[in-house]
Structure 1
């Protein structure tokens, strides 16, 4: 049958690739390896730093603390230097006007010394004020208020003189009793305790058969007031 033609054979290339997928995987691996070597060569081809010195580390930027501006006060224009802390001038917030800080090496609050008050010029340090506390038939109870206007404790002596009469008793209110001495015309009383600076003490007495107005009343030789 010379007149019959043979059909052409198909190529085995595509069939082999389709039937063998590992060939495609291997080709991909080869391509990746080639690309890796190309990248390494490009990295090594860069010029290094001259002398082999490494780049200096980046310096930290100085931090600037913004000061709170108070109303009516201008903010400080002094520049901030790196490594230096900004310190506020003046007293610390806890300091108050008129306070005194203790010297270095000492602790505790400062001691405030007040100058003692003095009696006004022309006024005696100790004075007395006379009055009648209570009157009744045949007698009365009188009082001499002793006032210490000086800056130190003081003793005192009261002298009272009446026209006649009889002294029943005399006493001091609220403090230890002193010494009572009677004479023909009157009596004297010497304090048992001193009067404190700026303080006072009351000497009372009971008299009979006489007027409530004394002929004489003195405290440490100074005439009493009030009669």
Structure 2
């Protein structure tokens, strides 16, 4: 029919007249999204499969710090594997217990031993005297007597703060040995003095300024006559 006009339908009208098309498209989209989600889930590893760290795991070569009862723990320096750490605690030194204190057994310690008694006086005694004086010097002597019951040797020491010794000798007896050092004349007998006998040591000094010595002894005992 020439007078009849055809009416064109728009795509939206066609889709609206056929709702099953919209449902089919939605189903297809959901299937595609589900396939993508499943593929992504398979590519990931669940956190539950990862093994948890062992709480008891410790580093090698690090021993646990040692603690003592009643004391705070101290940090120890790390040691290399296979090597034992050296102790930094110094050994305690023994302490001395003062005299009279209580010892470890609870008993008081004995007092220290007394000093040994002085040796007995020599049986050979001496007497100091001045024989003669002159300008600048003098001659003195020490006369010794042996009070023992047996022969005895002797040693005389005469001290002057200044001056010099000219000579020394023993009267009418065998001579001994003399030494003059730092103002001290030391004379040792050549022969022993018999029991009850006597012997005289004489000496010539100059520049002493006095005839009285600062010291005079026979075998450690002081001379008389000073």
TM-score, normalised via structure 2 length: 0.46
> TM-score, normalization: structure 1?
0.46
Report which of the two structures shows the higher radius of gyration computed on alpha carbons: 2
